[in-house]
Amino acid sequence: MNLGEMLNELSANILRDTNEPRLWSDEHLTDLLNQGVEAFCLALRAPESRSSYTLVAGQDTVQLNKSLLDILSVKAGELQLRRVRHLKDLFRSKAVLEYYVDTVSGKLHFNAAPTSDVVIEVYGIPAPQPMVYPSDEPDGVDPAWHRALLYFAAWHAFDESDIEGYSAGMSVTYYNKWRIELARARNAVYKLREGRAPIARSDARFN
């Protein structure tokens, strides 16, 4: 489905919001659908992209050049680096290679600088292109799972509505539908990933 089709299905058949003035504008529903695309990609950890960067000798930061929803892994050669969630934790250990993601600046910070140039490979989930025009389709979401986006939008639309009782119940209903579709999509993706060789963990420092 494209954006126009999803908006029509959402307003007419799910929210049943066709009388003027409408409770939810197309602009607001589009925003919810785009949020659903991001949530779907994050939940499935897909699609996956790979980018290479050169960490110059003596340098301990890398500026990412593309927008990512999240980073899945970072490798230096055949070694997978360990991620820390807080910058203050980055320099507690020099025994293994670690990195921290600064989501504000888009930089990777490392706990050690190499003595010679090192190629860093970053595997991540690219930020999807938001849907704007009626002909736009969800970026990174297989058509088989487009209904999951409708359920996500309906869950949040009902959740923010002030129609007491009815809206609360419908919000829970569509939240459950979203979770079911998400579980089905995860199972399908995991089956495709079976047989992928594990990546070696890092147990050394830059040298």
In the predicted model, what is the mean pLDDT of residues 123-133?
93
In the predicted model, what is the mean pLDDT of residues 108-120?
90
Q: Is residue 207 assigned to a domain? A: no
For 163-193, the pLDDT digits (tens) are 655 687 899 999 999 999 999 998 887 776 6
- Point out the domain boundary residue: 105, 126, 147: 126
Q: Is residue 164 assigned to a domain? A: yes
Binned at pLDDT 50, 70 and 90, residue 205 comes out as very low
For residues 89 and 132, membership in a common domain is answered with no
Q: Mean pLDDT of all residues in the chain? A: 86
Q: Is residue 206 assigned to a domain? A: no
Domain containing 181 equals 3-45+128-193
For residues 40 and 102, membership in a common domain is answered with no
The pLDDT score that the predictor gives to residue 206 is 41
Q: Is residue 152 assigned to a domain? A: yes
The Cα–Cα gap between 167 and 161 comes to: 6
Tokens representing residue 25 in the block: 């504008």
Domain count, the chain: 2
Q: Is residue 178 assigned to a domain? A: yes
As beta bridge partners, residue 109 has 61, 100
User: Given the structure tokens 């992928």, which residue do they identify?
Assistant: 196
For 130-150, the pLDDT digits (tens) are 999 999 999 989 999 999 999
Cis-peptide into 47, omega within 30 deg: yes
For the chain, the distance separating the N- and C-terminal CA atoms, rounded to the nearest angstrom, is 51
For residues 54 and 122, membership in a common domain is answered with yes
In the predicted model, what is the mean pLDDT of residues 18-38?
94
Binned at pLDDT 50, 70 and 90, residue 77 comes out as confident
The pLDDT score that the predictor gives to residue 199 is 39
Q: Which amino acid is at 176?
A: N
Nearest alpha-carbon partner for 69 in 35, 96, 120, 97:
35
Contact 141, 13 (CB under 8 A): no
Q: Is residue 204 assigned to a domain? A: no
For residues 76 and 106, membership in a common domain is answered with yes
- Point out the domain boundary residue: 126, 150, 179: 126
Q: Is residue 198 assigned to a domain? A: no
For residues 115 and 177, membership in a common domain is answered with no
Tokens representing residue 160 in the block: 């923010």
Backbone dihedral angles phi then psi of residue 122, each to the nearest 5 degrees? -110, 120
For residues 41 and 134, membership in a common domain is answered with yes
pTM over 0.85: no
The pLDDT score that the predictor gives to residue 195 is 53
Contact 125, 69 (CB under 8 A): yes
Other beta carbons within 10 angstroms of residue 37's beta carbon come to 24
